[in-house]
């Protein structure tokens, strides 16, 4: 059998089509834990998130969100706020919801407060950290991508 250019075109098309099907299969098998189960409800209240981020950007003294040897840590400096408030530190890992951690906290007026997610609750990888808090007037939010080793 003689091989001509038409055979190469057919083989190239078959390889291309099979690679497209392979990519579609792999995307379908992918874990999507970072996608919210309440997507539509979340989009309706997203303006509050935008406002909370803007409020956090306007602060002169901001909380410090960082990775330490003991875990992921948030430090509210002494005199951060003139009042006591509640908040939530949430970290999400893209590889699975079983690695997500949420820690509620309370900052007392005039005191330095440190909130920490201990290293035992973390596995190596990239985390999306979200820090929420609310005082009597405004809501605040800070997001940061952190790498835990």
- What's the CATH number where 97 sits? 2.60.40
Q: What is the tens place of the pLDDT at every residue in 27-60?
A: 888 766 666 777 788 788 888 999 999 999 998 8
Answer whether residue 41 is part of any domain.
Answer: no
Answer whether residue 124 is part of any domain.
Answer: yes
Quote the pLDDT of residue 112: 85
Number of structural domains (the chain) is: 1
**pTM (predicted TM-score):** 0.72
Q: What is the DSSP string of the chain?
A: ----HHHHHHHHHHHHHHHHHHHHHHHHTS--TTS-TTHHHHHHTHHHHHHHHHHHHT-SS--EEEE-SSEEEEEE-TTS-SS-EEEEEEEEETT-GGG-EEEEEEE-TTS-EEEEEEGGG--SEEEEEEEEEE-SS-EEEEEEEEEE-
Q: Residue 87: exposed, middle, or buried by beta-carbon count in 10 A (0-12, 13-18, 19+)?
A: buried
Q: What is the tens place of the pLDDT at every residue in 63-117?
A: 999 999 999 999 988 877 778 899 999 999 988 888 899 999 998 887 888 999 9
> Are residues 105 and 86 in contact, defined by beta-carbon separation less than 8 angstroms?
yes
Quote the pLDDT of residue 35: 65
- Gap between the Cα atoms of 86 and 134, Å rounded: 6
Answer whether residue 82 is part of any domain.
Answer: yes
Number of residues in the chain: 149
Q: Which domain holds residue 139?
A: 46-148
Answer whether residue 102 is part of any domain.
Answer: yes
- Gap between the Cα atoms of 119 and 56, Å rounded: 27
Q: What is the mean pLDDT of residues 2-29?
A: 93
Answer whether residue 9 is part of any domain.
Answer: no
Quote the pLDDT of residue 42: 79
């Amino acid at each position: 059998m003689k091989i001509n250019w038409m055979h190469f075109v057919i083989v190239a098309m078959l390889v291309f089509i099979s690679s497209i099907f392979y990519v579609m299969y792999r995307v379908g098998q992918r874990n999507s834990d970072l996608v919210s189960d309440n997507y539509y409800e979340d989009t309706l209240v997203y303006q509050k998130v935008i406002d909370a981020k803007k409020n956090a950007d306007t602060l002169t003294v901001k909380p410090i969100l960082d990775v330490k040897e003991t875990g992921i840590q948030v430090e509210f400096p002494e005199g951060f706020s003139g009042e006591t408030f509640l908040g939530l530190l949430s970290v999400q890992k893209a590889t699975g919801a079983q690695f997500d951690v949420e820690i509620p906290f309370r900052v007392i007026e005039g005191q330095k407060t440190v909130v920490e997610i201990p290293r035992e609750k973390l596995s190596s990888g990239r985390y999306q950290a979200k820090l929420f808090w609310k005082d009597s007037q405004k809501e605040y939010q800070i997001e940061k991508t952190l790498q835990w080793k």
